[in-house]
Structure 1
Amino acid sequence: MTSLKQFTREEVAQHNKDGDLWIIIDAKVYNLSRFADLHPGGKTVLFGDDIPGQDATEAFYGLHRHEVLERAQYARLQVGTVRGEQPAIVGRVNGALSKVPYAEPTWLSDGYHSPYYTENHKRFQRAVREFVDEHVYADAQAREADGKRPSQSVFDKMGEVNFHAMRLGPGKHLKGLTLMNGIVEPEQFDYFHELIITQEIVRTGNRGYGDGMLGGMVIGLPPVLNFGSNELKAEAGQISHPYRIVPDIFAGKKFICLAISEAHAGSDVSGIQTTAEKSPDGKEWIINGEKKWITNGHTTFFFNSFTTGCKTEDGFTVILVPRGEGVSTKPIKTSYSATAGTAYVTFENVRVPVENTLGSEGGGIFVILSNFNHERWVMCCSSARSQRLVIEEVLKWIQQRKAFGRPLSSQAVIRNKVAQMIAKAESLQAWLENMTYQMNNMTYKQQSSKLAGQLAFLKMYSTQCAQDTARDAVQIFGGRGITQTGMGRFIEHYHRTIPFDALLGGAEDVLGDLGVRQAMRAMPKNARL
């Protein structure tokens, strides 16, 4: 930038015709003479009133995101700067907190306080944000566009700081690990640290990529950790797998997912039709059936494992099935990107040792239910933060977009929509942090008995708020809100993918009913009006 020439505004104004077209954007001078015929919006747009040779900053930001100027093919069009002036608009800065109101939760905002977060949490947040911005963000944008799985290099980087292990929350699985280069000790790590990780990943703004980044592990590995034998978890080579399952998964080298849902069985686990029968010698399970909508189920890796729900002679049983002979996967096309690896998983006479049983035979419902609270809480963490991303996009847009000669923010109807978005996001974060505090101060058994209803309500409320926010954001962005590129790309993506959050982990109606039933069980017998 130091080698660029400086021009007066008068000098720039002389370049104002076809074949000799210069403009100013944020104190930077661009030569569009050869680019005009290639402009995606057509050549005539560049020759509107007050654009040729003039300051086109307002016109540009009414049509384009700042990141456009940072792309190499457009950055090289800059030929200089305006003498005596400095650019005022700042693009994305790795690791930085947003200055846009309500774009960050209050505990990260200047002048605000929180009883929940310690200095260690703040140090941890800074490190995680820098890590995500440096190693994850760009890959998320690229993979969401091409539908491929997250890059192995990202998994490897995450493995180096034990990111994968931390995504499962506090527990014995962290013992002896160096977490985020030693910022937090395994014994210190709590649910607020995990909340930070989940919410920082969400800032990439790509729902499918978020699931592709080992979303299947978050729900598929806990049953192994909590109900698998020590041999199965650590030294599985002599049992069924040619690798050490947990260390390799934490390193990002091997993968695991949860295979429960079927075409005939979603929330109703009792409807599962995949069967597991004992071999004549009683040493193996023989598994047949097909699973559907399995996150991370379809990848190019042989070394995948499936935490699989099966119907057995004793009832519902969960079995760890390695990807091998008789296991096949096929991608399912959904309304968000293929990077999540959503799949059909077919088992045809798949034989696995009975030692791969997780928990007791016929006790699979307890294996699955044990992780439901954590799964729903993780989704609430994601939902709360993703709504702030939408709020940030909307606030920027209504400030820079003009209609009828005035900014959108001047319209009361627009301000009302934004007010509803902010109120929902703030109330959701407050409820979420309260639940997180309870989790930190309860045993796992206490969480199961006291928080199941609360977390069901929280998950229902978060996705209801999210769908309202998505709908209003599209209305504010107009046609751009349904366009997959350009100004409204994050809004379009959010609106298109938000139904997943409303279904995964339990549909809103099912969770609301669960919460009420939990409340009715706790009703005192002598309560009367």
Structure 2
Amino acid sequence: MTMVETPERRQLRELTRAFVTREVLPHLDDWERAGEVPRSLHATAAKIGLLGVGFGESVGGSGGDLLDSIIVTEEIIRSGGSSGLVAALFTHGIALPHILAACGVPSDSASGPQHLIDRYVRPTLAGTTIGALAVTEPDGGSDVAGIRTRARRDGDHYVVNGSKTYITSGIRADFVTTAVSTGNGLTLLVIDKGTPGFTVGRRLEKLGWHCSDTAELSFVDVRVPVANRVGEEHTGFLAIMQHFAAERLSLATQAYATAQRCVELATRWCRDRSTFGRPLASRQLVRHRLAEMHTRAEAARAYVHVVATRVAAGEPVVTEVAMAKNVAVAACAEVVDAALQLHGGFGYLRDAEVERHYRDARILGIGGGTTEIMNEIIAKGMGL
């Protein structure tokens, strides 16, 4: 199975490219320096229907599925945006699905506990609020089962104590879907910013993804209404695992799309740049290097599309998702390095778009489960 390119999806690509050209490119460098994207960008993306792609109209989204979300991610980066922009603008892609699934639906119905949908999902998809997902802890890394942030039941509330780190959009988020230990398992709670005892710590400075704010979070005797529980108690671990596929495929998409963009940038540079009286592209060594880069990027894209199509069809392809992420990340790492090298000294300057992609690409083999974790999943899929 491969991704079907329908007229609607071609229009979605055109809409995304126009959005990036008009609303992003004139400001992206400023956002990189500021360390975040403005809240107004969420509202603008929502108004034209981009923010809600992949979420049903009945819950405030724009419709479409995982494959449509992949198209938006791909086009944002290939139009000159960045994976950091995707992380900042579409954090709700990891903050909301757990809520919708726990309401007894995927993302195409409004049945279930309406207060969670009405209070968190609809305003986020409308671009008026921002949500984040808080799982990772300072000493936990990828060990989801070892979460130490605890929630103790006290009547109609949970009392939460603990800390989280590396939280994407944690500075700007109005609420955080938070994984906590409830004794016999993990539970997800939606915690509002401003709740007494909930502190947003320092802004974390990073190698890349500069326009995507990242924070440490602290919870000291934070009282969270039981009504803000996502699903039943002790179902959080399974919920997190079930939604890893979409997150990992998004990162895989960011990886191959970054590689494709860097191939385009390097090709353009090598056609325009001359050394010793000849364009770089006239040299066989350079042409062959570009051909290899193009092949790696296109092969990764093709495989990610195949796996994403299977996931969208409901197939349990955990191993294949892990392989898709690793294939795309490896292709991206090789291509962005080669692209920067071909740009020479200019590629090392902040003025060069390829420099930003070089920095941003490094997180893709870490986020959503490291390359090593993916290899362990693959090995288990092989029966090892």
The CA deviation at 1:176 is 7.4
Counterpart of 2:41 in structure 1 is: 154
Confirm whether residue 283 of structure 1 aligns to residue 156 of structure 2: yes
Confirm whether residue 174 of structure 1 aligns to residue 40 of structure 2: no
Counterpart of 1:38 in structure 2 is: none
The CA deviation at 1:421 is 0.8
Counterpart of 2:17 in structure 1 is: 129
Residues 214 and 255 of structure 1 are in contact (CA less than 8 Å); yes or no, is this contact kept in structure 2?
A: no
Counterpart of 2:198 in structure 1 is: 327
**Mind listing any 5+ residue stretches in structure 2 that lack a counterpart?**
104-111
The CA deviation at 1:127 is 2.5
Identity of aligned residues (%): 24
Aligned pairs (5 A) from 1:188-207: 189-202=64-77, 203-207=79-83
Letter in 1 for 2:43: D
Structure 1 residues 451-504: Cα deviation after superposition (integer angstroms, max 9, x where no partner)? 11101000011111111112212221122221111xxx1111111221111100
Confirm whether residue 315 of structure 1 aligns to residue 185 of structure 2: yes
1:310 and 1:350 map into 2 onto residues whose CA distance is: 12
1:480 to 325, 329, 346: 346
Counterpart of 2:109 in structure 1 is: none
Residues 139 and 151 of structure 1 are in contact (CA less than 8 Å); yes or no, is this contact kept in structure 2?
A: no
Counterpart of 1:377 in structure 2 is: 249
2:375 to 485, 505, 512: 512
Letter in 2 for 1:174: E
Confirm whether residue 410 of structure 1 aligns to residue 282 of structure 2: yes
Confirm whether residue 397 of structure 1 aligns to residue 269 of structure 2: yes
Counterpart of 2:106 in structure 1 is: none
Residues 59 and 117 of structure 2 are in contact (CA less than 8 Å); yes or no, is this contact kept in structure 1?
A: no
Counterpart of 1:211 in structure 2 is: 87
The CA deviation at 1:208 is 2.6
1:224 and 1:471 map into 2 onto residues whose CA distance is: 39
Paired positions, count: 372
1:124 and 1:517 map into 2 onto residues whose CA distance is: 37
Structure 1 residues 168-200: Cα deviation after superposition (integer angstroms, max 9, x where no partner)? x25xx3337684xxxxxx4xx333322221112
Higher relative contact order (CA 8 A, sep 6+): 2
Structure 1 residues 125-154: Cα deviation after superposition (integer angstroms, max 9, x where no partner)? 22332233222332323312x224222332
Structure 1 residues 339-380: Cα deviation after superposition (integer angstroms, max 9, x where no partner)? 311010111111001222222222211110111001111112
Q: Secondary structure at the match of 2:190?
A: strand
Residues 37 and 211 of structure 2 are in contact (CA less than 8 Å); yes or no, is this contact kept in structure 1?
A: yes
2:261 and 2:299 map into 1 onto residues whose CA distance is: 16
Change (3 A) 1:176 1:252: closer
2:25 and 2:354 map into 1 onto residues whose CA distance is: 17
1:376 and 1:275 map into 2 onto residues whose CA distance is: 27
2:228 to 353, 356, 360: 356
2:61 and 2:14 map into 1 onto residues whose CA distance is: 17
The CA deviation at 1:118 is 1.7
Counterpart of 1:67 in structure 2 is: none
2:127 to 224, 227, 252: 252
Confirm whether residue 496 of structure 1 aligns to residue 379 of structure 2: no
* Pair member with larger Rg: 1
Q: TM-score, normalised by structure 2?
A: 0.91
Aligned pairs (5 A) from 1:233-312: 233-235=116-118, 244-279=119-154, 282-299=155-172, 304-312=174-182
2:30 and 2:80 map into 1 onto residues whose CA distance is: 11
Confirm whether residue 230 of structure 1 aligns to residue 117 of structure 2: no
Change (3 A) 1:194 1:209: closer
**Mind listing any 5+ residue stretches in structure 1 that lack a counterpart?**
1-113, 180-185, 236-243, 522-529
Letter in 1 for 2:302: A
Aligned pairs (5 A) from 1:15-164: 116-144=4-32, 146-164=33-51
2:213 and 2:298 map into 1 onto residues whose CA distance is: 32
Q: Secondary structure at the match of 1:175?
A: helix
Change (3 A) 1:232 1:204: farther
2:117 and 2:209 map into 1 onto residues whose CA distance is: 34
